[in-house]
């Protein structure tokens, strides 16, 4: 009988690992613990034994029964509690996606740092301007051909007569086109705002978004960033401008670069000029000139010049006592040069393959 009991126990332990669902568990219960199961059969046999054997074997029987019952309970618990998704604290988690600054913000932060070290304070202007600040105060009247340069996103157009009436009522704004709003086409209007409220001397930069109503292509976007500079006060002449730009670009591109100034026309500077920076790609080659600088050794960057007397007059400053320079450059442009990016539209394309490279 003992052997039978041992055989049963052996079998229990052999098959317990195979019990994976409710059905096999039930078969297990019926087979071993059921009313007609193996244990029940043995219990029947037990009854026919004499008292001494009954006592001895009964003890073994009860131990075995308890063991099988506890195996059954354990299997049942496992089936009920087995979670669908296992979770372990030791399991390495999924890395959360962490963003980073865009190439524009990175370059802007760097530019601000360099200009701060050169004594320039950073000012933020407004992206919505009115006609007066964007054009008129900068010597670009309505009929001036230079306005064609800045094709404009106008906001909330008012009828000409309404504008005229309102201008007549307000003495302060008499003859000022302050009623028609637009998305600024350049950062230069912030020069006027700053000059109106601050007395020279000062040196400031004004970085920010600008908007132009034009078709996009590899080198044109309708929304991009400019960095404007304005220095008014003793010593703020073209020699200083050249030195400041030279220092800025040498630090920005981490190379010793020369600046080239060329005469150009902007209505709010006189003399006006365009500035080029030495090509960072063929800089140290014996024979200067490469495909990027089109064999010239220099790359065009932006506009600059001495602040026009008209602008001083606009803000009520005496142009015989004040002088200074202004410059403006496209932020995307100097980033494109740094990384040899050949399409400005990539900056706003939201393409992760592009953005994740920085
Ligand atoms: N505002 C000019 C532009 O948008 C750039 C410029 C700024 C030129 C300052 C001269 C002086 O093209």
174 C-alpha to center of ligand 1: Å? 27
Give me 115's structure tokens: 């200009």
Do the domain assignments include residue 175? no
Do the domain assignments include residue 237? yes
Q: For residue 161, is pLDDT > 60?
A: no
Q: Is 326 in the pocket of ligand 1 (CB under 6 A)?
A: yes
What range defines the domain where residue 349 resides?
Answer: 103-126+189-355
Active site residue 146: no
Question: Residue 318: which CATH number?
Answer: 3.30.930.10
192, 210, 236, 269: the active-site residue: 269
87 C-alpha to center of ligand 1: Å? 61
d(CA 214, CA 249): 29
Q: Is 269 in the pocket of ligand 1 (CB under 6 A)?
A: yes
Residue 48 pLDDT level (bands cut at 50, 70, 90): confident
From 135, 189, 238, 268, the mutation candidate for ligand 1 (largest count of ligand atoms within 8 A of CB) is: 268
147, 226, 236, 260: the active-site residue: 226
**CA-angle at 60, arms to 59 and 66, nearest 5°:** 90
- DSSP class of residue 175 equals T
Are 42 and 107 members of one domain? no
Query: Torsions phi, psi of 166, nearest 5?
Result: -65, -40
Cβ of 342: how many Cβ atoms within 10 Å?
10
d(CA 259, CA 253): 13
Tell me if 148 sits within 8 A of 94, measured CB to CB: no
Are 337 and 215 members of one domain? yes
d(CA 190, CA 238): 21
d(CA 136, CA 176): 8
212, 225, 308, 333: the active-site residue: 212
Q: Is the pTM of this model over 0.75?
A: no
Are 194 and 76 members of one domain? no
If DSSP codes are grouped into helix, strand and coil, which group holds residue 258? coil
Summarised one tens digit per residue, pLDDT across range 78-129 is: 887 656 677 777 878 888 888 899 999 999 999 999 999 999 999 999 999 9
Are 48 and 115 members of one domain? no
Do the domain assignments include residue 287? yes
Summarised one tens digit per residue, pLDDT across range 2-31 is: 778 889 999 999 998 888 888 899 999 999
Are 249 and 351 members of one domain? yes
């Amino acid at each position: 009988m003992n052997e039978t009991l041992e055989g049963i126990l052996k079998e229990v332990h052999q098959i317990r690992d195979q019990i994976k669902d409710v059905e096999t568990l039930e078969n297990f219960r019926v087979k071993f613990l059921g009313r007609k199961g193996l244990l029940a059969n043995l219990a029947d046999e037990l009854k026919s034994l004499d008292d001494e054997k009954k006592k001895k074997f009964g003890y073994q029987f009860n131990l075995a029964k308890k063991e099988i019952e506890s195996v059954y309970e354990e299997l049942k618990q496992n089936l009920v509690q087995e979670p669908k998704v296992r979770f372990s604290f030791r399991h390495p988690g999924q890395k959360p996606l962490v963003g980073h600054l865009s190439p524009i913000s990175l370059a802007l932060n760097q530019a601000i740092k360099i200009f701060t070290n050169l004594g320039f304070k950073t000012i933020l202007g407004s992206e919505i301007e009115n006609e007066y600040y964007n054009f008129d105060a900068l010597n670009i009247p309505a009929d001036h051909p230079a306005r064609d340069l800045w094709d404009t996103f106008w906001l909330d157009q008012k009828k000409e007569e309404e504008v005229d009436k309102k201008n007549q009522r307000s003495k302060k704004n008499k003859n000022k086109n302050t009623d028609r709003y637009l998305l600024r086409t350049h950062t230069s209007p912030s020069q006027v705002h700053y000059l109106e409220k601050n007395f020279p001397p000062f040196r400031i930069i004004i970085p920010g978004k600008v908007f132009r109503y034009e078709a996009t292509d590899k080198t044109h976007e309708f929304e991009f960033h400019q960095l404007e500079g304005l220095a008014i006060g003793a010593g703020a002449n073209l020699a200083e401008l050249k030195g400041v730009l030279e220092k800025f670009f040498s630090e920005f591109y981490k190379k010793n670069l020369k600046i080239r100034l060329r005469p150009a026309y902007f209505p709010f500077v006189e003399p006006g000029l365009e500035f080029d920076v030495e090509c960072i790609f063929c800089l140290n080659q014996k024979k200067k000139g490469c495909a990027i600088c089109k064999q010239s050794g220099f790359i065009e960057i932006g506009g600059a010049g001495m602040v026009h007397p008209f602008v001083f007059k606009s803000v009520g400053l005496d142009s015989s006592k004040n002088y200074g320079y202004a410059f403006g450059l496209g932020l995307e442009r100097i980033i494109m040069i740094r990384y040899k990016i050949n399409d400005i539209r990539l900056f706003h394309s939201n393409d992760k393959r592009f953005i994740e490279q920085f």
